[in-house]
A and B are shown apart, each in its own frame.
Chain A
Amino acid sequence: MRVVLAEDLYLLREGLSQLLRAHGFEIAAAVESGPELSAALAEHRPDVAVVDVRLPPSYTDEGLRAAIEARRQVPGLPVLVLSQHVEQLYARELLADGSGGVGYLLKDRVLNADQFIDAVNRVASGGTVMDPDVIAKLLANRPAAGRIDQLTAREREVLALMAEGRSNAAISQRLFVSEGAVGKHTASIFTKLNLSVSDDDNRRVLAVLAYLNSLRSQA
């Protein structure tokens, strides 16, 4: 699988390259600035891009903007965005086109190599991965909002894990329950949130996030 990597810190760039190579990825390009990233994305059309939000020359949200622009030109281009801090604002912008294949993680998550590689793989295959911090903020700030209210504590846990892009199997492992029980929970969540059931991993995350987002924007 071919990866374009954009990160301005040399050490971190090399570390990420090594980590990805060690897990069988091919580094098509490892760049250190926004313009280079745009060029590399256009040239290599990678299977997945791993992008730092803040890049030279402006050291603002150069990376994020380059990624969103690239996804505008190549819809569904899988992009995993890394940052030192997570903002719901950025998460919404990344999800705005609704075509999946998006990830948004804290750089800290790189420390757990297995989880990080798993996230890269899920993004590459069109899934959506949101950092638990983003999900936590979305859920925490609206404890009394509408239908979310009706969820049990367990269902909320499941919803949060679902929003991180995990499959029922992964959730069942995480919560130490059977996969069937998770299935029941998700079905119940969908009913309570008034969402039609779908097997598609990606759509279900998008639906959940769209629901949470709309909850905030409509009010």
Chain B
Amino acid sequence: MKALAKGAGLFGLAVIGFLGSVLVIASFAPGFGLGMVFLLPAPILFARKAAGLARRYTLAWTGVSIATPYTPAPPPPVRQPDGWYRRDRQLYRKPWLPSMMANLDWLLGDNATWRDLAWMLLSPFTGGLIAVLPAALIGAGISMPFWLDQRWAGLLAGALTVLIGLFTAPYAVRVTARFNKRMLGGPLLRSDVDDPRAVAHPMREWFGRALVPVLKLAVLFLTSILGVLVFAATVAGLVLGYGLGLFFLVPMVLEDLRWLADWRRSSLAPWTGVSIPRPYRPFPEVPRSDDGLYRVGKNLYKTHRWAMFAQRALWLTKDPATWREVLWRGTDPIIGGLIAGVPVLLVGYGIWGFALPRVVQLLFDGHSGAWYGHVAGQAWPAVPVGLLLAWVGIALAPKALKLHGQWSKLLLGANTDAVLAQRVEQLTVSRAEASNASAAELRRIERDLHDGTQARLVALGLSLAAIERLMDTDPPAAKELIGKTREAAATALRELREVVRGVHPPVLAERGLVDAVRALALDSPVTARVSTTVTRRFPDPIEAAAYFAVAEALGNAARHAEAANVDISLDETDDLLRIVVRDDGHGGADPGRGSGLRGLARRLGIFDGTVAISSPPGGPTELTMEIPCASSLPRTSTS
């Protein structure tokens, strides 16, 4: 009974939300339509109140806590010393206008605003409705004996319906609560929503396994259909561009419509288990000659703008990957659509065309013509044939997914030329970085030696000369000076040791990477554990790069993440040296911001190594570095 009341309450919240959304949308009309933007913030804040109400009572009634996902409000405008208020590149006398505009940006720019509105609009018909379905069932069950012809059958069916309603009430409440959490709680990870008990349920697992491929195929099918539009636009652009001389259309349709293919490569291909790298050649720079003209191919341009346009056109049209992709745009709606469509249609038509209508007909004794629920005019095979078709569709789905991926790869993947071109570009960049880095390194070492050790040795020589002079005339002073000279020698040694450590840590030369990392761990202010399966030595440059990378990672863990424990693991797995540094610090490392991480990537990039970081706020931070190490490196001299 309690669940029924809660369900009614949740539905009530949804209805209130819906009524609120009508008001909000009504007020949007003058706000957006007539440009009276100052009318906008108040209704949005009102919508937030309604969403907040739903959050509060969902927690109170169901125990599902929903985070408040809004971005923080902007600070009030600050008065500048000259008395004006500034916003972007505009100055204002009074603070209210910039303040309102900041508020507008804040409210309209926050995705949570729109999710709130979507929840308000949809909830009474979707998630919120589920909460009252059991109550509706019970109502229907109670009324059944009164309108069914046979009294006894009606009583039985009614009692059954009431029972089902009672039984499902708590589940319905939970479903609605989770729906609210998804809509109102901001972007979520899957693991935040699904409780593990439900996931482990075998029925649910089977459904997931059987239906997920079909759903994926359905999405792929829809994108293939979407491809028709893209291809039509491409053809129109090319015809107008080459036919009517509207050349500016050509690069536009070629490059700006790449998004569909990019989307297929990046987000949909992982579904099929086929990885498709982006095959396009990198955009070449436009060289500027001495006389100030830009050169593209055999043409010279006065302005950078035109040169860039010509370069872009040349770059696009000369790249075979472009034309392969255009071919894909034309063929994918047919071939890709067929591959994805067949299983989807089998399942869809089997269930909704044959089985389900037949069941409905049997239950309600209706007649819906000879099309639905009939196989070749016969009613009886509808259910078995429908289920059989669905089963065939489900069985085909995984294979169709894979096939679809391979099909995409055929035209969207890179051919050897493109792979080589990308490789050359990548190597050019990493070579430039490597030589810059090593030049900077040499300069630093030179400076250290010049300002440190050399200077000290000069001073040492001067002192010795002084001692030589004093020896006979003033032995006590000479003796004192000797002591000082010895100290100076010790200092010079100490400085030299630091320089050497920066060039190539001695322990690395003596013991190799693993022990050098152990030594690092011992010297680190955090407690660092080292585990390893590495038994061999790697080429010197790789060891040095890996060593400095670990040193950097350890330093970061101590400095930025304020970690207390760090686990370092070094493993070699088929031709790959993998180093994972994991700390228990507060996380939140931003790979875009830290120059240290970029330096790390650069250092390893020279060896085609990669750096991946996972650092959610609150930690833990995990830095994974992988360096291919089987390839026989060209001889690299470090001396």
Contact = CB atoms under 8 A, between A and B. Distances in A.
Interface of A: 53-54, 59-61, 64, 83-85, 87-90, 92, 106-108, 111-112, 137, 140-142, 216, 219
B519 A87 contact: yes
Given A84-B500, A140-B525, 20 more contacts: A54-B506, A54-B510, A64-B510, A84-B497, A85-B497, A87-B522, A88-B523, A89-B515, A89-B519, A89-B522, A90-B507, A92-B522, A106-B493, A111-B486, A141-B523, A142-B525, A216-B522, A216-B527, A219-B527, A219-B565
Contact of A60 (B493, B497, B509): B509
A2 to B, nearest CB: 28
Contacts of A59: 509
Contact of B510 (A53, A111, A142): A53
Interface string B469-513: 000000000000000001001100110010011000011011100
A88 B522 contact: yes
A60 to B, nearest CB: 4
9 contacts: A59-B509, A60-B510, A85-B501, A85-B507, A88-B523, A107-B493, A111-B489, A140-B525, A141-B524
B500 A85 contact: yes
> Lowest 5 A-B CB distances belong to which pairs?
A88-B522, A61-B510, A219-B527, A89-B519, A60-B510
Contacts, number: 53
B258 interface: no
Interface in B412-437: none
Interface of B: 486, 489-490, 493-494, 497, 500-501, 506-507, 509-511, 515, 518-519, 522-525, 527, 565
Given A60-B509, A87-B507, A89-B518, A141 B486 contact: no
A108 B491 CA distance: 9
Nearest to B496: A84
B265 to A, nearest CB: 47
A112 B523 CA distance: 26
Contacts of A90: 507
A73 B494 CA distance: 35
B506 A137 contact: no
A106 B486 CA distance: 15
Contacts of A61: 510-511
A108 to B, nearest CB: 5
Contacts of A89: 507, 511, 515, 518-519, 522
Contacts of B525: 140-142
A84 B501 CA distance: 10
Given A53-B510, A60-B510, A141-B525, A108 B490 contact: yes
A175 to B, nearest CB: 21
Contacts of A140: 525
Nearest to A64: B510
A112 B486 CA distance: 8
Nearest to B493: A108
Given A61-B511, A108-B490, A111-B486, A84 B518 contact: no
A61 B511 CA distance: 7
Contacts of B510: 53-54, 60-61, 64
Nearest to A63: B510
Contacts of A87: 507, 519, 522
A60 B516 CA distance: 12
